[in-house]
Amino acid sequence: MNGTDAGGQGGTVDQPTKRGLRRDFLAVRRGLTEDDARKAAAVLAGHALELPELATAGTVAAYVSVGREPGTRVLLDALHARGTRVLLPVLLPDNDLDWAVYDGEDSLVGVAHQGKMPLLEPAGRRLGPDAVLEADAVLLPGLAVDHDGTRLGRGGGSYDRVLARLERAATDPALVVLLYDSEVVAHIPGETHDRPVHAAVTPSGVRRFR
């Protein structure tokens, strides 16, 4: 999707540190050129498509990258072309996520949510927030991940809700975050509700956790 992702909703002790980390990682991303981002997106897609979790997935929940986020558009088109059912998020007023099927580049529309950066969202029929429970793999946006698989999001709460929904339903899809190499770090402040990711895909390859 975009930068509507979240790192946490509680844990006030860690929040100032997380805010600082978010600021620093976003500053580095803003320094990337368009050419840097385009080249990284192509390499990321190649690595991600080799993941067994994506190769065997019937349904993948993903997102449309925006700005200098690690690009997902090449990956979305490749998954769609090989017959994978791709779900993309639609931001709801309460920051929760609805879902719709990706049907190619022409199925995306620009949306301006109040107080949010412009997003690209799927124009198709809304399937409801629980549609993510059908996913065999979930691609998560993030700003960083540590060696234990703790993911740092943007702090909006959207993906905390997605992960909590998956946990309540006792589903266990592969959780994969797409990042730049410098965003895999030694430690991210964690909170009790954090759910570690299984893998991070960066331009240099795949890093697995648990």
Residues annotated within a binding site for ATP = 18-22, 151-159
CB contact at 8 A, 164 and 10:
no
The whole-angstrom separation of Cα 130 and Cα 103 is 20
Binding site per annotation, positions for substrate: 64, 69
8 A C-beta contact, residue 206 and residue 172: no
Binding-site residue positions: 18-22, 64, 69, 151-159
DSSP labels for 41-52? HHHHHHHHHT-H
Of 154, 137, 6, the C-alpha closest to 68 is: 154
Q: Which helix (H) or strand (E) holds 57?
A: none
